Amino acid sequence: MKRYIIHSAEILSFDPQKPYLKDYAVLVEDGKIAKLAPYAMLKEENCEHIDASGKILMPGLINAHHHFYSTLVTGLGKAAPSKDFNEVLENLWWRLDKKLMLRDTYISAAISAINAIRKGTTTIIDHHASPYHITGSLAEISRAVKDTGLRASLCYEVSDRDGMERRDEGIAENLSFVKAYGAEQDTQIKALFGMHAAFTLSDESLDLIARLVSDTGCGTHIHVAEAQSDQRFNIEHFGKRVVERLNDFGLINQHSVLAHGVHLSPKEMMIVAEKKAAIVTNPQSNLNNAVGIADVCKMQELGITVGLGTDAMTVNMLEELRVGMWAQHLRQENPSAGFMEIASTLLFNNPAIAEKYWGKGHGKISEGAAADMILVDYDPHTPLNADTWIGHVVYGISQARVDTTIVAGEFLMWDGELLLNIDEAQLRAESRELAKALWDRF
C-alpha cells in the first residue's frame, strides 16, 4: 500500500466551500486522499513526506469530450478546403476515420494520453470512430489508457453513414464494452453508449439503441446540435428538433454527455436540465469549424450542468478554458459576462460530471476522493487566496508548467519527467511512421 504526504504547497481544492488552503497537507493512502489537514497535524505520520514548496497542488484536470483517434491528423494538409461544417466532416474526419486501423487507434490514444499527462489532464471522456476497424477498437484504447495510467470513459460512435452492417458492429462494440466496464467493475475505465449525431441515425437505429440503453441502464455520449445543419436535418426529416427527437426515444438521461449544444432552443435546454444530463461545450472546435458559440450563460441559467471539453483540439484544459472565456464574452457581447459560467465548467462542473462515473469527490481534493492530483510550478506575484484563486487559474496558473501528475496515488510524471513503463521516444517514432502511412491512405 503506497502511503505518503505532500506538504508545503498552496492547495486549490476545487471545493467551493474551502477552495484555497495554505499550510495544509494531503495524506495519500491506497490511491485515495486519506486526510486533508494542517501539516502540523500530520508531521508525525510515519511515511514519506514530499516537500512541494513553491508549487500549487490542484486536482487533476478533466476533459469531458475528446477524440483520441484524431491524434494522427496533426500536420495533415491533404484535406480539401471546406466551406461549412458538413464539408469539414466529409473532407476530413469521415475520410480519416475510414482509414484507421487498430494499431493506429492504440497509438493515437497512447500519444494523446501522454500529452494529457504533461498538461495535467488525468480523466478523459472519449468518443471513438473507426468504421472499418470497429470490433476491438475500444479494447485498444482501454489498453493505451491502462498503459499510461489515466482514467477514461470510452464509447464507439454508432452511425448509419457507413451502412447497416457497420452500424450493427458499432452497436455490438458499445454493448460489449458497457457489459465489461459498466457500473463499478473497473475504477479506471468507464463506458457510455456512443452515437455520432441524430442527423446520421434513423428512427430505426435510435429505437434499437434506446432499448439497449434502457436494458443496460448506461449513459449516452452524442454530438448534439453542433451545427445548425443538425437541427435543419432533423426538422426536415423527422419534424422535431435534435433534443426533442432524442428525448422521445429515451436517449437522454442523467448519465448522458451531450457534446456542443451550440444551436439548442430554450425548450431543448429545459429538457436537458429536466433529465439532469450534461452539455459539454468545446469552444476551440466550435470556433475552428465556424459553427457558432454555445450560449453557456443561458444553459446554466436554466439549470444545466455545462462541462468543458476539447473535441481533440488540444489536451490542455486551461488553454480551452481561456478560449471559452473570450468566446463567451463575444457571444454575450459583454466583456464582463460569462466569467464564472465558463470558469465553473472546468473547476466545478467537470468534477460533477465525472462523479457520476468515478464516485463522490472525483475532481476535487477532499478526504475520501481519488488521489488524482497535479503540482504546478507557480509563485504568485499578486495575492492568492479564497477570493482570487479563480482569476489566478485563468490568467496565471494557465501559463505555468505542470511539474507532477498523479493518478490513483501513482506518480505518472515527476518534475516534468514521465514515470511510465513506456519508451516514449519509440512510441513517437512509431506514431510518425503510422501517421505517414495513414496520410498515404487518406
What are the angstrom distances between the C-alpha of 81 and each of 72, 229, 286? 19, 18, 17
Nearest Cα to Cα of residue 193 among 225, 227, 219, 223: 219
Residue 13 predicted with pLDDT over 90: yes
Q: For residue 249, what is its C-alpha cell?
A: 426515444
Which three cell numbers, joined as nine digits, stand for 195? Answer: 452515437
Mean pLDDT of 29-44: 97
Instruction: For residue 70, give the DSSP letter.
Output: G
Percent of the chain whose pLDDT exceeds 90:
96
**Residue ranges covered by each domain of the chain:** 3-59+370-418, 61-358
Is residue 29 over pLDDT 70?
A: yes
Q: What is the pLDDT of residue 78?
A: 76
- Predicted pLDDT at 351: 98
Q: Once rounded to an integer, what is the mean pLDDT over residues 146-154? A: 98
- Convert the pLDDT of each residue in 279-298 to its tens digit: 999 999 999 999 999 999 99
Q: Write down the pLDDT at residue 424.
A: 96
DSSP 338-381: SHHHHHHIIIIIHHHHHHHHH-TTTTS--TTSB--EEEEE---S
CB atoms under 10 Å from CB of 395, counted, come to 12
Q: Kindly report the CATH class assigned to 61-358.
A: alpha beta
**Can you list the alpha helix ranges (DSSP code H) found in 276-345?**
283-288, 296-301, 317-332, 339-344
CA quadruple 425, 426, 429, 431: dihedral positive or negative? negative
For the cut 70, the answer to whether the pLDDT of residue 1 exceeds it is no
CB 234 within 8 A of CB 199: yes
One fold for both 3-59+370-418 and 61-358? no
pTM of the predicted model, to two decimals?
Answer: 0.97
Closest CA to 366 of 120, 36, 42, 39: 36
Using CA atoms, how far apart are residues 426 and 418, in angstroms rounded to an integer? 14
Average pLDDT, the chain: 97
Sequence-distant (6+) residues with CB within 8 A of 58 are 11, 12, 14, 120, 365, 373, 374, 375, 376, 397
In the CATH scheme, what architecture does the domain 3-59+370-418 have?
Roll (2.30)
Element (H or E) spanning 223, and its range?
strand 220-224
**What is the pLDDT, as a whole number, of residue 440?**
93
pLDDT in tens, 293-340: 999 999 999 999 999 999 999 999 999 999 999 999 999 999 999 999
Residues 79-107 pLDDT 10s: 888 999 999 998 989 998 999 999 999 99
Question: Who's near 274: CB < 8 A, 6+ residues apart?
Answer: none
| pLDDT class of 77 with cuts at 50, 70, 90 | confident
Note whether 352 and 16 are within 8 A (CB): no
How would you class 88 by CB atoms within 10 Å of its CB: exposed for 0-12, middle for 13-18, buried for 19 or more? buried
Residue pLDDT, tens place only, 178-222: 999 976 779 999 999 999 999 999 999 999 999 999 999 999 999
What confidence score (pLDDT) does residue 194 get?
A: 98
